Structure 1
Amino acid sequence: MKKKLSTIFTVAGLLMLSNACTDLKEQVLDETLTANLSEEETVNGLLAPTYALLPNLFQHTTYFALQEISTDEAILPYRGGTDWGDNGIYLALHAHNTTSTDPNVNNTWNQLVQSISRCITAIEGLKSAKSPNAALYTAEARGMRAYYNMVMLDLFGIVFVKDDPGTTSTIIRGDEAVKYIESELLAVEPTLQPKSVVGPGRLNQAAVWSLLARLNLNAAVYRNIYGTTFDFKAEDMDKVIQYTDKVINSGQAKLSADYFAIFGNANHTNEEIIFAVDQRAELNGHNRMAYFSISGDQFPLAEFPTANGTDGPGITSDFYQSWVQAYGAVDPSRDPRFYQQNLSIYSNAADTCVADADYKINRGILRGQQYGALRVNGAFLRCPDGKLKVGKLSYVTRNRADLPVSFSELIDFTTAGSNYNTGYRVEKYEFSSKSNTGRNRGEADIVIARLADIYLMRAEAKLRKSNDAAGALADVNLVRASRTKTLAPPALNSITLDLLFRERGFEFYWEMLRRPDMIRFGKYEGKWTEKTNSDVKKRIFPIPQTAIDGASNLPGYLKQNDGY
């Protein structure tokens, strides 16, 4: 990688074309390169690559790992001493000991850099386009460049500014970076279409307002990333309120009565979602969120007896206990966001035969003994009537038939805490009904922004600006009361920043918001399961050593972040 970054930025947009596409009035943007293209096909081919690497960025081992496993929500031990060891990178990530050679950090960086490059290529190519959509597509490409830079700022503390493909990017940080991203999003906002026109898989007006609110909410952190305190300026909080109001008043999104439908296989049309990674199976989606946490002996699909989980991360006891503390003597499954029961075996032990069409894995936070389709020699057992035989699961695939698939609260890096069955698991996203392996053909769009976050960001801004507890409480309780498919969570009687932080954990667990939330609320240097490091310089990740080596012929251009 001994090349100038200017060259990398110029050519990376021409490389690694994927099959991912996006949706415009049920028409996909196709990045296939063929001869004799029409003008419309040409501009589609320029814009589609700006979205195409989003599925790679949002894979379970890239952005998700950095945003969740580094926090008190998720932990991934060395399972059974044989699985998910990966040279200790997940242990280091959780304990805040990540290094600049970590492959997940490197892969995340590469997806961001390549995506920024593709946006630059699209913007340049669209300058000469005669399509009536050229202005809209240019705005989308420019807005996506701002979004990728916003993620880059959040993770690595830097932003790349580049308009001319033939020049070297300028690197900016702090307040300058915040102002640049804000100006770019504001510049494209008037041109973008409403979500109702382009769908959640493409940058739309409500998505830009959501990103502007998120940017200003975190601006105090970005301006002073290593600060002992953060200055949440009134003008920043006013902007958060302004842009969240825009989203809410636009009517472009609606809170979902069914919480888990937001993460279901049909969520592309869920009204709560504002912006998402389009993962529909016909677009070769590979959402792996559903397979990552559950057991390798959980087989969620009657049609595919090889589609299973991988015994990846569980939630920490610390995070689970936040639910227990909130509900006291009442089991936290009382909250419809915590758990959704789909197998009646949990409430009716005699019901051990299940029709294929009715067989669905439970959702949310999974605890204790798990039940499911029983498999012998690669085939599901059947009842005399042909239905699936459902029973208590054990770790047959791990050659540990003596070990029940019974998830425990205990999970840590000890031998006992690293066993296959340790840790409560998360099945928030629905397992794709079209995935014959669990690792392909994902259906559920991965949420980037949704309306509940809009309300809770507004609540936080009200608290931080003027201690408007009444206004903040109203927003929080509005979201809680909206989950009416089952019994909604009880209304809160009061709200503080600490309670709001807890509420964000309940609402957004496993959604890649935990790390910035912990930093913003002053929790990231705290202690939790297997994590004692309190170094503020671990708030952002190291720039990959390969990137620094690649820029070595530009002395002083790309400097490693402090503390690495």
Structure 2
Amino acid sequence: MKQSIKFTIAILVLMLFSNACTNLDETLYSSIDSNEWYSTENECALAMGSAYAGLRYRGTSLWGLYGTEVVTTDEAVLPVHTNGSSLDNNGVWRDLHKHNFTPYQASISASWEICFNTVANCNQIIYQIKNSPAQFDGKEGMIAELRTLRAWALYKALDLFGNIPVNLDFEDTSLPKQITRTEAFNIIEKELLESYPLLQEKPSTDYYGRCTRPVAFAILAKMYLNAEKWIGTPKYNEAIAMCDNIVNGGNYILEGNYADNFIIENEGSREVIWAMPHDRVIGDFGFQMHMYTLHWALLEKYDLQGTWCWNGINMTEAMYDSFDQNDKRIEGWEIGPQFYFNGDPVWGYEGGQLTFTKTVTNLDQSPEGEGVRCFKWEIPQGLSGWETMDNDFALFRYADILLMKAEANMRVNGGVASEEALGLVNQVRERAYGNSNFNYTTATLTLDELLAERGRELAFEEIRRQDLIRFGKWGDAWKFKPASEPYKELFPIPNNVLNANTNLQQNPGY
């Protein structure tokens, strides 16, 4: 059964649709005095849901964080296929992959929007809950939870855009000023350190999809792991401490089957620390990997009604080739002839059986079957229109925490794998292979190999961009992309944002 946060979001979505009615003879039940709305604990809890609801579409959309954090990397490519539908959008996906970034690209604008809309929503709700006459035991915890969600949004903005505006005061209506990355880092760190002692200590059904104490630890671990790159100050020991808080808490394990983290009803995963809940009944666009990656000819196989598929996003050949054929994680990536579930062949549009190949020969005009397709998330049957897939999207997983701790340990150790780092990585490795025959040794586990292992484990999970930058690989040339300049480690601030706030300066190079 989908947990409470999904139902809260569903209620909020229904409220938004109901407010679209224009029959002026009806009583306007949506108009409620703000002093009355936050008069009970339940009303405060429901208000919190609106802060989370804004994450659902842009958080996992190509026209949002998925476009900026996946398409721009060496793991994904979106060629224009000649048949079976296409995903062109005036070349924006090819430009993003080639690091031809501009302040006008929709996914970059939407990534800024999701970050700062979330901050603004949290500011308002924190103010209203603080000033609510309702008194209950969990009130300070609610505020801490919203501060943590706001800190996550600022952490994402810090990662993507560098020097950012920060305003934590709802009553301050002035245009926020841009501050340095170091100043913003310190503010976010302070917010999290002050908030986490008041958060829900352990995962639970009631807190599924919400910011708990381990979520705050995971954000801090990410910040500390990237601190040397972002602010010039190594904080690897701090990263280890935050990972230890999660590991020693004993609340998470590696699922025995890697694929269980990505099945349709994956909210039972004991590996997921924080998930973005998705469910078709809620009615938003959500997570649409089926539309991004499938060929039109597969509509019937998955009983997709009143919709289409864009035959678009593929894993790059180089990333696919990094998998050993004994690695079970490769099963989430589809190549070869396509069949219906009864064994009948699926026919393509260019003659013969539809067959996916790992090689993409031309970004601008690629045959219908070129490219490795993403089947990592189990594709539900019977979706219609623009319905989201039902799979919840993991924002933080325990496997990532283990690999992060190993990396921090290696960096403290001069880039050399210690026995502790080796044991952490091999936990993930053994799950992937089902045995210890492919385990690393201290000689074979280098930082470059750790980056490759992170790529295999966390592919398409909106993590690769940050990893490539931290490992110094972001500017490297790869197929279809020439070497790119260091300034492109940050995205441009969207032009409409600069026009709206004269306190902001564009990032260098744009």
Q: TM-score, normalised by structure 1?
A: 0.79
**Which residue of 344, 347, 355 corresponds with 1:394?**
347
Matched residues in 2 for 1:94 and 1:215: separation? 25
State the shift of 1:134 in Å. Answer: 2.1
Matched residues in 1 for 2:167 and 2:8: separation? 28
State the shift of 1:177 in Å. Answer: 1.7
Q: Cα–Cα, structure 1 residues 469 and 295, in superposed 2: closer, same or farther, change >3 Å?
A: farther
| Secondary structure at the counterpart of residue 394 of structure 1 | coil
Gaps of 5+ in 1: 1-20, 225-230, 340-363, 374-388
| Secondary structure at the counterpart of residue 448 of structure 1 | strand
Q: Cα–Cα, structure 1 residues 299 and 508, in superposed 2: closer, same or farther, change >3 Å?
A: same
State the shift of 1:413 in Å. Answer: 3.4
What's 1:471 paired with? 420
Task: Assess if the C-alpha contact under 8 Å between 1:112 and 1:148 holds in 2.
Answer: yes
Q: Name the aligned partner's letter for residue 212 of structure 2.
A: N
Q: 1:125-147: CA deviations, max 9, x gaps? A: 11112242321111111111110
Matched residues in 2 for 1:524 and 1:530: separation? 14
> Does the alignment pair 1:50 with 2:42?
no
Matched residues in 2 for 1:506 and 1:528: separation? 17
Matched residues in 2 for 1:496 and 1:300: separation? 45
| Secondary structure at the counterpart of residue 524 of structure 1 | coil
Counting only pairs closer than 5 Å after superposition, residues 188-337 of structure 1 correspond to structure 2 as 188-197=195-204, 198-223=206-231, 233=234, 236-284=235-283, 286-299=286-299, 304=304, 309-323=309-323, 327=324, 332=325, 334-337=326-329
State the shift of 1:303 in Å. Answer: 5.2
Task: Assess if the C-alpha contact under 8 Å between 1:297 and 1:394 holds in 2.
Answer: yes
What's 1:382 paired with? none
Matched residues in 1 for 2:408 and 2:451: separation? 13
| Secondary structure at the counterpart of residue 217 of structure 2 | helix
Q: Cα–Cα, structure 1 residues 152 and 313, in superposed 2: closer, same or farther, change >3 Å?
A: same
Matched residues in 1 for 2:290 and 2:108: separation? 22
> Does the alignment pair 1:136 with 2:141?
yes
Q: Cα–Cα, structure 1 residues 465 and 394, in superposed 2: closer, same or farther, change >3 Å?
A: same
| Secondary structure at the counterpart of residue 198 of structure 2 | coil
Matched residues in 2 for 1:510 and 1:401: separation? 29
What's 1:367 paired with? 335
| Secondary structure at the counterpart of residue 500 of structure 1 | helix
| Secondary structure at the counterpart of residue 268 of structure 1 | coil
Q: 1:258-294: CA deviations, max 9, x gaps? A: 1111011111121100011111344446321243222
| Secondary structure at the counterpart of residue 340 of structure 2 | strand
Q: Cα–Cα, structure 1 residues 97 and 403, in superposed 2: closer, same or farther, change >3 Å?
A: farther
> Does the alignment pair 1:432 with 2:440?
no
What's 1:346 paired with? none
State the shift of 1:560 in Å. Answer: 0.8
Matched residues in 2 for 1:426 and 1:142: separation? 35
State the shift of 1:23 in Å. Answer: 2.9
Matched residues in 2 for 1:440 and 1:422: separation? 26
Q: Name the aligned partner's letter for residue 245 of structure 2.
A: K
Q: Cα–Cα, structure 1 residues 22 and 152, in superposed 2: closer, same or farther, change >3 Å?
A: farther
What's 1:347 paired with? none
Task: Assess if the C-alpha contact under 8 Å between 1:369 and 1:407 holds in 2.
Answer: yes
Matched residues in 2 for 1:390 and 1:305: separation? 22
Counting only pairs closer than 5 Å after superposition, residues 446-485 of structure 1 correspond to structure 2 as 446-466=393-413, 467-483=416-432
| Secondary structure at the counterpart of residue 410 of structure 1 | coil
Count of residues paired in the alignment:
476
Q: Which moved more, 1:33-42 or 1:512-521?
A: 33-42
**Which residue of 464, 468, 475 corresponds with 1:518?**
468
> Once the two structures are aligned, what percentage of the paired residues are identical?
27
Task: Assess if the C-alpha contact under 8 Å between 2:359 and 2:370 holds in 1.
Answer: yes
Matched residues in 2 for 1:502 and 1:465: separation? 20
Task: Assess if the C-alpha contact under 8 Å between 1:194 and 1:252 holds in 2.
Answer: no
Q: Name the aligned partner's letter for residue 28 of structure 1.
A: T
What's 2:99 paired with? 96
Task: Assess if the C-alpha contact under 8 Å between 1:156 and 1:540 holds in 2.
Answer: yes
State the shift of 1:456 in Å. Answer: 0.2
Matched residues in 2 for 1:40 and 1:403: separation? 62
RMSD: 2.4
State the shift of 1:458 in Å. Answer: 0.3
| Secondary structure at the counterpart of residue 196 of structure 1 | coil
Task: Assess if the C-alpha contact under 8 Å between 2:302 and 2:381 holds in 1.
Answer: no
Matched residues in 2 for 1:203 and 1:67: separation? 22
Q: Name the aligned partner's letter for residue 335 of structure 2.
A: R
Q: 1:512-551: CA deviations, max 9, x gaps? A: 1000100111111111111003201111111111111112
Matched residues in 1 for 2:188 and 2:370: separation? 42
Counting only pairs closer than 5 Å after superposition, residues 389-428 of structure 1 correspond to structure 2 as 389-395=342-348, 400-402=349-351, 404-414=353-363, 418-428=366-376
Greater strand proportion: 1
Gaps of 5+ in 2: 16-29
Matched residues in 1 for 2:389 and 2:352: separation? 30
State the shift of 1:304 in Å. Answer: 4.6
| Secondary structure at the counterpart of residue 220 of structure 2 | helix
Q: TM-score, normalised by structure 2?
A: 0.87
Task: Assess if the C-alpha contact under 8 Å between 1:22 and 1:28 holds in 2.
Answer: no
